[in-house]
């Protein structure tokens, strides 16, 4: 048993704002296994405060075995050492804590005498909603749990919550006010989101292959709690983004073809009147005026290009472009070269052109409202490289960085040169003076395989944070916690505490495996090395498909053949041995969790090997395929409640669109 003692104002080094330190006191929640505190709530507490109290009491109990009493403020007992006031209370107000003065998502954690106050703005909306800004009280409680109980939320559910055992929870004076370092923090949910509210039904086909209805709901709820514990949110403060001109061709193409991109054949727009992704002729002044007229004058003016590479080739637009390099970097050729998908349009880099377009519109909008904000939306596709000519933009223009285009740049790990290059593009855009967020797609990668890394993605995140990133939103959370969980945990931690270093975060994760922590580190290093060693091979394997993340499943057995699993299994066998006799069974259960992920990946790779890239399986292989699928599905059904994988995403997004498993399942059910 450890005794956790934090001496003096622990927050002073870490936090931005602090108050004069009130008289010294000692906060004691639990002392040598005995309760020394009560938790005090308002007589009419908000839902947020009640939820925060539930979280606090539950985690303290798991850490110490002590269940703290919760009392309403009017019944506060005087004969306890410490009162822990959670949320807006009369006593907090009386002591000068004015929540109305606090920024959104902020909390105050302050000791006064022997008492502790954790409080922020509250409302009665769902405290789990990521667009609810009045959750300071809850965020303060999470900070307390993370710092003073050293709890680590590794993956959804109880096993993924690592709560070190403590005899005592006590510390001296604390006084801080804190707001999240990043304005918005998000991993975009997959379709599982609807199941958190309990009002969505699984399709029979998805249910046959993966989650049961109950499993999907349990997972979604545990995931929602996990994301909040890591303080994902701030989405109401994010500048909106989007492909603003999608659908304009259909709406305005007939009347104003000149507003739309000139093509190589001399026509404007697109032969298909309904085609949604026709780029605009952004140098056209009438289009600019019209775009402005459409704007309500209040909300953010959205100017994101359509979601398709290729831009207008007219002389006016081309005159706005910077020079195109004669010898583009080898890892970025597709950024500059003619892309098949853009063959009728200009396929080079149009960053200078769009920077000028955004600036022109921002200046026009500012004539109506000097504070008008223009959203360039995505720094992506033809606009990904930083402008080459000197252009001065400003803080009223916002863009989100999305590395994509060339297959060398899409995924981590990428070639070292590519990694350096994307950093220069970030810096180049930053130099223009715009505000920037980060919105990459690489978490889509890897299917259920142990395909991940932490070195580059962690490094880039920290780089972006050091260079002005105001928030991050990742597409998408595929939920492969038992195979890619280290990387997911790192992302959750970095979004909440971008100043943490990657090594510290990794160590936190490994510590949850107790006596096997070093072996588990070697296990994850094995896969991280595997990803780095094979990075060029992975790029080649999926070279000609834009949708690597969607069709990854088709070549999973080539990326992860059966033989690559053996050394990893041996490491996990060792880890299992190291933990099997420990008095705390949670360590061996966590090793087992990682084993489940690995076994699941191996079974999935065995199945994709039979399909071998085809969507159907030939007659002579059907029995073999049925056996492999039967084994895989049985394994999932046995382990779904561990939450090792978002099995809905696995079946619905990856497997069923790429392999005709429904046919096999039908056949199996009739046998």
> Which residues are at the interface with Zn ion (CB under 5 A)?
281, 312, 314, 317
Q: Is 660 helix (H, G, I), strand (E, B) or coil?
A: coil
Q: How far is the CB of 337 from Zn ion (least distance, A)?
A: 21
Answer whether 125's CB lies under 8 Å from 132's CB.
Answer: yes
Q: CA 462 to CA 457: how far, in whole Å? A: 9
Q: Which is nearer to Zn ion, 298 or 315 (CB)?
A: 315
Give the count of beta carbons closer than 10 Å to the beta carbon of residue 660.
Answer: 17
Cα distances from 572 to residues 79, 232, 582, in angstroms, run 51, 31, 16
DSSP-assigned letters across all residues of 162-217: E---EEEEEE---EEEE--SSSEEEE---GGGGGTTT-----HHHHHHS--HHHHH
Q: Which is nearer to Zn ion, 312 or 376 (CB)?
A: 312
Q: How far is the CB of 361 from Zn ion (least distance, A)?
A: 15
Q: CA 66 to CA 381: how far, in whole Å? A: 55
Q: Which is nearer to Zn ion, 317 or 531 (CB)?
A: 317
DSSP-assigned letters across all residues of 228-280: HHTT-B-GGGSPP---TTTTHHHHHTTT-GGGBPBPTTS-BS-SSTT-S-PPB
Q: How far is the CB of 262 from Zn ion (least distance, A)?
A: 6
Q: CA 403 to CA 438: how far, in whole Å? A: 9
Q: How far is the CB of 319 from Zn ion (least distance, A)?
A: 9
Q: How far is the CB of 388 from Zn ion (least distance, A)?
A: 19
Per the listing, tokens 């908000």 go with 46
DSSP-assigned letters across all residues of 510-563: HHTTGGGHHHHHHHHHHHHHHHHHTHHHHHHHTTT-TTHHHHGGGGHHHHS-GG
**Structure tokens of 465?**
């944070």
Q: What residues are paired with 161 via a beta bridge?
A: 153
Q: How far is the CB of 445 from Zn ion (least distance, A)?
A: 35
- Closest-CA residue to 245 (of 306, 317, 311): 306
Q: Which is nearer to Zn ion, 320 or 611 (CB)?
A: 320
Q: What residues are paired with 374 via a beta bridge?
A: 301, 397
Q: How far is the CB of 284 from Zn ion (least distance, A)?
A: 6
**Structure tokens of 248?**
């304009």
Q: How far is the CB of 317 from Zn ion (least distance, A)?
A: 3
Q: Which is nearer to Zn ion, 314 or 414 (CB)?
A: 314
Q: Which is nearer to Zn ion, 357 or 380 (CB)?
A: 357
**Structure tokens of 298?**
């209040």
Q: Which is nearer to Zn ion, 177 or 314 (CB)?
A: 314
Q: Which is nearer to Zn ion, 30 or 312 (CB)?
A: 312
- 473 phi and psi angles, rounded to 5 deg: -140, 120
Q: How far is the CB of 283 from Zn ion (least distance, A)?
A: 5
Q: How far is the CB of 154 from Zn ion (least distance, A)?
A: 51
Q: How far is the CB of 354 from Zn ion (least distance, A)?
A: 12
Q: How far is the CB of 313 from Zn ion (least distance, A)?
A: 7
- Closest-CA residue to 138 (of 126, 149, 150): 126
Q: What residues are paired with 38 via a beta bridge?
A: 69, 83
170: left (phi over 0), alpha (psi -120 to 50) or beta: beta
433: left (phi over 0), alpha (psi -120 to 50) or beta: left
């Amino acid at each position: 048993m450890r005794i956790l003692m934090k001496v003096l104002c622990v927050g002073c080094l870490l936090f931005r704002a602090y108050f004069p330190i009130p008289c010294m006191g000692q906060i004691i929640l639990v002392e040598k296994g005995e309760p020394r505190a009560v938790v005090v709530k308002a007589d009419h507490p908000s839902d947020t405060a009640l939820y925060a109290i539930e979280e606090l009491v539950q985690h303290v109990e798991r850490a110490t075995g002590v269940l703290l009493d919760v009392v309403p403020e009017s019944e506060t007992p005087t004969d306890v050492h410490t009162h822990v006031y959670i949320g807006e209370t009369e006593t907090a107000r009386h002591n000068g804590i004015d929540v109305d003065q606090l920024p959104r998502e902020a909390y105050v954690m302050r000791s006064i005498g022997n008492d502790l106050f954790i409080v922020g703005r509250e409302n009665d909306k769902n405290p789990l909603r990521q667009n609810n800004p009045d959750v300071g009280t809850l965020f303060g409680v999470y900070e307390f749990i993370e710092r003073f109980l050293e709890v680590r939320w590794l993956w959804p559910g109880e096993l993924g919550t690592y709560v070190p055992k403590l005899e005592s929870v006590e510390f001296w004076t604390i006084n801080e006010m804190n707001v999240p370092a990043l304005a918005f923090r998000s991993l975009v949910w997959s379709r599982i989101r609807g199941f958190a509210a309990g009002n969505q039904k699984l399709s029979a086909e998805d249910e046959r292959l993966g989650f049961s209805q109950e499993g999907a709901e349990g997972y979604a709820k545990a995931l929602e709690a996990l994301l909040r514990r890591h303080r994902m949110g701030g989405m109401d403060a994010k500048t909106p983004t989007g492909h603003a001109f999608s659908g304009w061709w259909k709406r305005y193409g007939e009347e104003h073809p000149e507003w739309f991109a000139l093509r190589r054949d001399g026509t404007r727009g697109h032969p298909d009147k309904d085609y949604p992704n026709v780029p605009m002729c952004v140098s056209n002044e009438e289009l600019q005026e019209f775009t402005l007229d459409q704007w309500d004058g209040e909300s953010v003016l959205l100017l994101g290009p359509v979601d398709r590479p290729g831009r207008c080739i007219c002389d006016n637009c081309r005159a706005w472009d910077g020079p195109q390099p004669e010898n583009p970097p080898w890892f970025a050729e597709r950024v500059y070269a003619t892309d098949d998908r853009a063959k009728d349009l200009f396929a080079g880099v149009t960053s200078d052109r769009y920077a000028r377009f955004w600036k022109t519109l921002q200046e026009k909008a500012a004539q109506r409202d000097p504070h008008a904000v223009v959203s360039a939306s995505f720094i992506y596709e033809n606009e990904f490289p930083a402008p080459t000519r000197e252009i001065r933009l400003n803080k009223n223009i916002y863009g989100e960085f999305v590395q994509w285009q060339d297959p060398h740049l899409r995924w981590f790990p990428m070639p070292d040169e590519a990694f350096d290059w994307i950093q220069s593009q970030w810096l180049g855009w930053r130099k223009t003076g715009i505000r920037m967020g980060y919105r990459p797609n690489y978490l889509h990668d890897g299917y259920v395989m142990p395909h991940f890394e932490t070195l580059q993605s962690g490094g880039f995140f920290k780089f972006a944070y050091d260079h002005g990133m105001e928030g991050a939103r990742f597409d998408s959370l595929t939920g492969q916690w038992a195979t890619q969980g280290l990387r997911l945990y790192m992302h959750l931690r970095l979004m909440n505490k971008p100043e943490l270093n990657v090594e510290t975060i990794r160590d936190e994760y490994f510590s949850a495996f107790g006596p096997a922590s070093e072996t588990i580190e070697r296990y994850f290093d094995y896969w991280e090395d595997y990803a780095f060693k094979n990075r060029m091979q992975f790029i080649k394997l999926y070279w000609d498909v834009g949708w690597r993340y969607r069709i990854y499943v088709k070549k999973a057995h080539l990326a992860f053949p059966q033989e690559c699993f053996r050394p990893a299994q041996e490491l996990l066998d060792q880890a299992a041995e190291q933990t099997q006799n420990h008095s705390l069974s949670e360590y061996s259960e966590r090793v087992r969790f990682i084993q489940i992920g690995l076994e699941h990946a191996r079974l999935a790779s065995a199945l994709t090997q039979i399909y071998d890239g085809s969507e159907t399986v030939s007659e002579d292989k059907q029995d073999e395929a049925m056996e492999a699928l039967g084994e895989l599905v049985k394994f999932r059904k046995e382990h779904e409640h561990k939450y090792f994988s978002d099995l809905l995403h696995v079946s619905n997004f990856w497997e069923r669109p790429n392999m005709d498993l429904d046919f096999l399942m039908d056949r199996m059910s009739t046998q």
